[in-house]
Amino acid sequence: MFSLRGSFIRIIGNKKVKSELKKEEVKRILVPNGRIGDMVCETPFLKALHKEFPKAEIDVYLDDVVAPLFKNCSYVNVILNKNKYKIIKKVKILKMLNLLYEAWTRRKKYDLYFIFTNEMRALSVLSLKILSPKYVISVYRREKFGIKKDELTIYDRYIKKAQSSHMRDIYLSGIEAITDEIIKDRKYEICLGNLENKYNNYFDKNKVNIIFNYLGGNFKKNLSYLELKESCSKLLEIKENIVVHIMTLPNKYEELLKQIESWNEKRIMICPETKDILDAAALIKYSDILASVDTGVVHAASAFNIPVISIFPNNENSIKYFSPMSDLSYIIKCEDKHYIKNFDKNLMCENIKDILKQKEKNLYEKHN
């Protein structure tokens, strides 16, 4: 069946001759941007990309909230997004025009470009046409408007199926499409720099120090103060030596502090006020367990293999793409598809008990 949109996508999404990737000619690479969780999941890909193209510049455009993650990463060039007007993100036509403008400002600057989203959208194909990188590696497109998943030749190479549906493995499949080899090093990497030992002596090593994060990427993933109090109080019932440290954002610090003081519980305290996500990651590194709603700090904990309990809305795709990757990882799924609320706190406590038993077992095996 004829589709006007499909015809337009075919016109702009095809070129006569596919480009040939010549590694020695790759001088500058553009990689996908994203929020904190996306970018932590992307770190094994960035590391493998640098290994494959050691002389190439690797650029990523990030917001100032995410940028500190790569402050100490020598092989990634962070370019701050200049757009600070929130209205552009809220008004659809402005968002579309901004996407095309950004593509124009970066036009023909890149030798290699990766795409990991599979939408068959005219705007996305048009922006890629404007960007005009020499070589594009992409996942298969979602079949739409009568266009097959691998029909468009603007994409020079399509990525084979990833090892799993997790975003980490999807990213790594982009490198595997070049090397035709499975990448073995799949660990997250956060370079702390001079923050490496900042919180080494912050936690009492005779206690079980649990960081609890109640704030997500949007209000739908935030826990209320009432549910936060119930959750923390429940954790204290497990063992007498458990201390719960609640993590919050700098602009919520004073408000949370007043709440915690009103609870009058010495084993529930507020985490120190952290400057940015890198500072928060440095703190998480020295905790014993992280319990958190689904958000970026979950992946920061996985970078240091801190045991994680992650609370998700009832969204299988979100769990599939962004489940925690620590050796000891647990997922609690809420009943609601969009909101994180009324989660199973008894299950959370059982998960904590399992983690403590496993840690004791590991410690015993290490000394015997």
The residue ranges of the chain whose pLDDT is under 70 are: 1-2, 83-89
- The domain spans of the chain are 10-179, 202-366
Superfamily of domain 10-179: Glycogen Phosphorylase B; (3.40.50.2000)
Q: Which two tokens stand for residue 246?
A: 């609640």
Q: Which two tokens stand for residue 293?
A: 């709603």
Q: Residue 68's pLDDT is what?
A: 97
CATH architecture of 202-366: 3-Layer(aba) Sandwich (3.40)
Burial string for 52-68 (b: 16+ CB within 10 Å, else e) reads: ebeebebbbbbeeebbb
Cβ–Cβ under 8 Å, residues 352 and 210:
yes
Q: Residue 234's pLDDT is what?
A: 97
User: Any idea how long the chain is?
Assistant: 368
Q: What is the 3-state secondary structure (H, E, C) of the chain?
A: CCCHHHHHHHHHCCCCCCCCCCHHHCCEEECCCCCHHHHHHHHHHHHHHHHHCCCCEEEEEECCCCHHHHCCCCCCEEEECCCCCHHHHHCHHHHHHHHHHHHHHCCCCCCEEEECCCCCCHHHHHHHHHHCCCEEEECCCCCECCECCCCCCCCCEECCCCCCCCHHHHHHHHHHHHHCCCCCCCCCCCCCHHHCCCCCCCCCCCCEEEEEECCCCCHHHCCCHHHHHHHHHHHHCCCCCEEEEEECCHHHHHHHHHHHHHHCCCCEEECCCCCCHHHHHHHHCCCCEEEEECCHHHHHHHHCCCCEEEEECCCHHHHHHHCCCCCCEEEEECCCCCCCCCCCHHHHHHHHHHHHHHHHHHHHHHCC
Q: Residue 83's pLDDT is what?
A: 64
Span 56-77, pLDDT tens digits = 999 999 999 999 999 999 999 9
Long-range contacts of 266-271 (CB under 8 A, 24+ apart): 267/236, 267/242, 267/243, 268/232, 268/233, 268/236, 268/243, 268/244, 269/243, 269/244, 269/245, 270/245, 270/246, 271/211, 271/245, 271/246, 271/247
Same fold for the pair 10-179 and 202-366:
yes
pTM of the complete model: 0.93
Residue 106 β-bridge partners: none
